[in-house]
Chain A
Amino acid sequence: MNLFKALSYKEWMKTRKFILVTFVLLAAVAVYSYIDITYAIRMEEAVNVWYGFIFQGVSVSSLMMYLIPLSGISMAIIQFVPEMTNKRLKLTLHLPAGETRLVSAMLLYGYGVLFALYFACVIFMSVIIGMILPSEVVGMMVLQFLPWITAGLAGYGFTAWICVEPSWKQRIFNMLISVGLLSVLFVSIYPETYSDFGWGMLLVLVSSFVFPFYSCVRFKQGIQ
């Protein structure tokens, strides 16, 4: 039995509509950004637009700052709220496999899907923005997206942590910790802000993967 494949089938049934909607939304925002930039070039001339991007830290697509993290949070809600409704997580944990492997597979499915969506979005945006802006601006755009993508992935893990937590008191604590850690990724939207903070982003990401296991153990112990 391929555990990951078998569990992914379940997760896919829950999330497939959401994945399609998110894919369309990300594509729509990318196209919107393209239209917005071409319009700005026509109105303000290319040199001024380029200047904004290169020297003033203007974002190629500031909407992505909201859409990417929100998609991560929504993905976790769609995946884990049904698991906690009527405590269905018991059914999943009762499957004949180690509980750590079961939870890891569910989380890795979510991270994998989101990563694929974000990766496709970055490639698509690089291609269409590359048609109207120089590669330097495209590179800056990718750097600017990096903390937002990290926030999307980490937001997914932290929301899963909040959903799986059985006690409301602890859930509120989890929310506060999550907001605190995610806010680190929104200090500034300037493209180079996080170039020396790769380790920090990795730490936030790893925390978002590890924390849900703590609440899973609490769920297993029947804490209410």
Chain B
Amino acid sequence: MEKIIECDKITHYYGDRLIYADLSFDVEKGKVLGLLGKNGTGKTTIINILNGYLKPRSGVCRLFGEDMNNISPATKSRVGLLLEGHVQHTYFNVQQIEKFYSAFFPKWKKEAYYELLKKLQVLPTQKISTMSCGQRSQVALGLLFAQDPDLLILDDFSMGLDPGYRRLFVEYLKDYASAGNKTVFLTSHIIQDMEMLIDDCMIMDYGRLLLHRPVKEIMDNFKRYRFVAPGQDFRLSAGNDFWSPSVLGDKWEVYSFLNKEEVLSKLSAMGVKEITEEKLSLEDAFIGLTGKY
């Protein structure tokens, strides 16, 4: 399968603070990849590096096989970029911004833009600076659809959106991604939205990539287990098999990729007699993998 995004051993620091060391991953054609991570784990940073807006300490990223620092105009026209906060040129109105962008993209689909904007209660002459965040998000999305890029890079697309606009955004995006073998790389703080949308999931922790797996694999295999401590001295620490163990009173919870039998077998050696297994949402799985704090 063709690799659309390749990051190879990216190391980056802000001052003395390590953001990543030797971060490597790639995104194949047709995949929708979600980048999850707590605040400050470098989600926007990797998007900036990918688009050549930040020079890492070392390593290289490639878009469609081209080095991030020398992306050709032809490749730029294949990449749709949504900046954090749906940033756009706010001095334009709805019509003017479409006219401006249409001059740059040969495959421009004017109707895709106006079709999306029909859902909004805005006039063609309304200035973008007077729009709500939700309306601006639709303008930005409409422009991306009109550009018809092969790769969409969306930085925190749900930021500032109410549930209705978030859902609208996700539905359009899902439809777009599945229709034409498009590749999408996105970040969001709202993990519920990601669950509906993404095929693969990358979870960042401070300084490293915690996990990069298909969402289905995580949802099918990563479970929460609850049990009662066999005694006051019982202790369980995080390790290869157990993630984010925590206790409230004598009631423990722990996350694991192991199945119930395997977990019980390991815990019974410590005196635990009974465990209960819980299926997780992606958000629960994210908490399980990264911890609550």
Residues of A within 8 A of B (CB): 1-2, 5-6, 9-10, 13-14, 82, 86-88, 90-91, 93-98, 219-222
* Cβ–Cβ contact A88 & B87, under 8 A: yes
* Cβ–Cβ contact A90 & B51, under 8 A: yes
* Cβ–Cβ contact B85 & A97, under 8 A: no
Q: A93 CA to B79 CA in the complex, in Å?
A: 12
* Cβ–Cβ contact B83 & A10, under 8 A: no
Q: Which of A1, A2, A91 contacts B87 (CB 8 A)?
A: A91
For B52, the chain A residues whose CB sits under 8 A away are: 220
Q: What DSSP secondary structure best describes chain B's contact surface?
A: loop
> Taking A6-B103, A6-B104, A95-B104 as contacts, is the C-beta distance between A86 and B81 under 8 angstroms?
no
For B87, the chain A residues whose CB sits under 8 A away are: 86-88, 90-91
* Cβ–Cβ contact A82 & B73, under 8 A: no
* Cβ–Cβ contact A10 & B48, under 8 A: no
Give A152 Cβ to nearest chain B Cβ, in Å. Answer: 23
Q: Which of B51, B54, B92, B105 contacts A13 (CB 8 A)?
A: B92
Contacting residues of chain B (59-96) with chain A, CB-CB under 8 angstroms = 73-74, 76-77, 79, 81, 83, 85, 87-92, 96
Q: Which of A10, A98, A221 contacts B89 (CB 8 A)?
A: A10
* Cβ–Cβ contact A96 & B99, under 8 A: no
> Taking A9-B100, A221-B55 as contacts, is the C-beta distance between A94 and B81 under 8 angstroms?
yes
For A88, the chain B residues whose CB sits under 8 A away are: 87-89
For A82, the chain B residues whose CB sits under 8 A away are: 89-91
Q: Which residue of A lies closest to B52 (CB)?
A: A220
Give B93 Cβ to nearest chain A Cβ, in Å. Answer: 9
Return 10 A-B CB contacts under 8 Å, by A number. A6-B103, A13-B89, A13-B96, A14-B91, A94-B51, A94-B81, A96-B104, A97-B76, A98-B73, A219-B53
* Cβ–Cβ contact B76 & A96, under 8 A: yes
For B77, the chain A residues whose CB sits under 8 A away are: 96
Q: Which of A5, A14, A90, A221 contacts B103 (CB 8 A)?
A: A5
Q: Which residue of A lies closest to B153 (CB)?
A: A94
Give A87 Cβ to nearest chain B Cβ, in Å. Answer: 7
Most buried by B among A2, A88, A219: A88
For B89, the chain A residues whose CB sits under 8 A away are: 10, 13, 82, 88, 91
Q: Which residue of B lies closest to A223 (CB)?
A: B55
> Taking A14-B91, A222-B55 as contacts, is the C-beta distance between A90 and B105 under 8 angstroms?
no
Q: Which residue of A lies closest to B74 (CB)?
A: A96
Q: A6 CA to B77 CA in the complex, in Å?
A: 15
Q: A97 CA to B91 CA in the complex, in Å?
A: 22
Q: A222 CA to B44 CA in the complex, in Å?
A: 12
Q: A87 CA to B79 CA in the complex, in Å?
A: 18
For A2, the chain B residues whose CB sits under 8 A away are: 103
Give A8 Cβ to nearest chain B Cβ, in Å. Answer: 10
Give B128 Cβ to nearest chain A Cβ, in Å. Answer: 11
Q: A219 CA to B92 CA in the complex, in Å?
A: 24
- Chain A to chain B: the 10 pairs with minimum beta-carbon distance, closest first: A222-B54, A96-B77, A6-B103, A96-B73, A221-B55, A96-B76, A86-B87, A97-B73, A95-B104, A94-B81
Q: Which residue of B lies closest to A95 (CB)?
A: B104
Q: A91 CA to B140 CA in the complex, in Å?
A: 11
Q: Which residue of A lies closest to B140 (CB)?
A: A91
Given contacts A5-B103, A9-B103, 19 further A-B contacts (CB under 8 A): A1-B104, A2-B103, A6-B104, A10-B89, A10-B100, A13-B89, A82-B90, A86-B85, A90-B51, A90-B53, A91-B89, A93-B53, A96-B73, A96-B76, A96-B104, A97-B104, A220-B52, A220-B53, A222-B54
For A98, the chain B residues whose CB sits under 8 A away are: 73
Q: A222 CA to B73 CA in the complex, in Å?
A: 20
* Cβ–Cβ contact A94 & B76, under 8 A: yes
> Taking A1-B103, A96-B104, A221-B54 as contacts, is the C-beta distance between A13 and B83 under 8 angstroms?
no
Give B96 Cβ to nearest chain A Cβ, in Å. Answer: 6
For B91, the chain A residues whose CB sits under 8 A away are: 13-14, 82
